[in-house]
Amino acid sequence: MHIHHLNTGTMCPIGRRLVNGTGSIFQRARMVCHCLLLETQDGLALVDTGIGLDDIANPMRLGRRWVRQTSPRLNPAEAAVHQVKALGYAASDVRHLLLTHLDRDHAGGMPDFPKAKVHVHRREYEMAVLGKPAAPKGRYVIEQWKHGPDWALYDGGGEDWFGFKAVRALGDREADILLIPLPGHTLGHCGVAVRGKDKWILHAGDAYFFHGQLRERVRMPLVLGYFQRRVDMDQAVRVANQERLRALQAAHGAEVEIINSHDPVHYENCRCGGH
C-alpha cells in the first residue's frame, strides 16, 4: 500500500517555544494537520481530512475563539481535495474517509468528498452528530456534515493488534487498515493503523500532541500541554492511552511508527522518509 503524507492545514499560534518547544516565545509556532492518503484496493482513502474549502471560504464558522487562538493560514492549496488533484486524482477517487474523530480540524474536508463513505467510531458519531450525550458547547462544527455523509460506524472490541483492540476498517477487502479505539481526547477518538512497505504506521490523531510525550522522559511544551488538558473529554483515559502508546513504541518501535495529527516534527520526518 502506498501512503502519501499531507499537511491539510497549517496553524500558527503565537509562542513558538511554548508550543513547538524551540525558538522564541515571540515567534509564531507551526502546527500541521497531518493526514494520510492511502492507495487501497478499493480506491483512495484519507485518514482525517483537515480543514476544508468551506471553512477556508468562511473561517468564522470554525469559531472566532478557535481562529484567534490557532491563527490558521487557511490556504486553499493545503486543502486535501486540491492536494489529491495535484497528485493526478479526482475527488471522486477518494472512496473512504477514516476519521480519528470529528473535531473541526479533522473533519472539515468531509464536504469536499461528498461521495466517500465516512468511517468513525459509533460513540463519536452519537455525540457529535446525534448529540447523545450532548457535546461540550462549540466543540463540533455541525455544518461539516450537513451534506449527509454515508456513515460507517464502529464499536469497540475486535482483534488484537500489539495489545490494542482493533477493528478492520474496510473489512476483508483491506485487512491492513485498522481502526483502534483511543478515547480520552473525545469519547469516540480512534487511531488508524496502516501497514506500510516495511512497518505499520499508527496515526494516533490527538491521542497525544507532541513527539516528546512518547519518550521515556516525557517532555511537553507548557502552552501545548495546557491546551491538551483543556480539550480532553476524559483526561484520565487519555493519559492512560498515552502511556500505552509510549509502551508500544518502547517495545515495538522497529515494527510500528507512531505519529499524531499536529506535530510538525512527525510530519517532516514522514514526508522526507516516505512510505
Show the domain range for 30. 2-273
CB-count burial class (<10 Å; 0-12, 13-18, 19+) for 201: buried
How high is the pLDDT of residue 38? 97
**HSE-up of residue 41 (Cα within 13 Å, Cβ side):** 8
| Ranges of residues in the chain whose predicted pLDDT is under 50 | none
Report the Cα–Cα distance between both ends of the chain, in Å, rounded. Answer: 9
Q: Quick one: how far is CA 46 from the chain centroid?
A: 10
How high is the pLDDT of residue 197? 87
| Total count of domains within the chain | 1
Average pLDDT, the chain: 95
Instruction: Say which CATH number the domain at 65 has.
Output: 3.60.15.10
Q: What is the spatial distance between Cα 178 and Cα 159, in angstroms, rounded to a whole number?
A: 10
How high is the pLDDT of residue 274? 57
Beta bridge partners of 119: 98, 152
How high is the pLDDT of residue 271? 87
pLDDT tens string 200-212: 999 999 999 999 9
CB-count burial class (<10 Å; 0-12, 13-18, 19+) for 137: exposed
Q: Which region holds residue 166: left if phi is over 0, alpha if psi is between -120 and 50, else beta?
A: beta
How high is the pLDDT of residue 158? 86
How high is the pLDDT of residue 272? 82
C-alpha cell at 141: 462544527
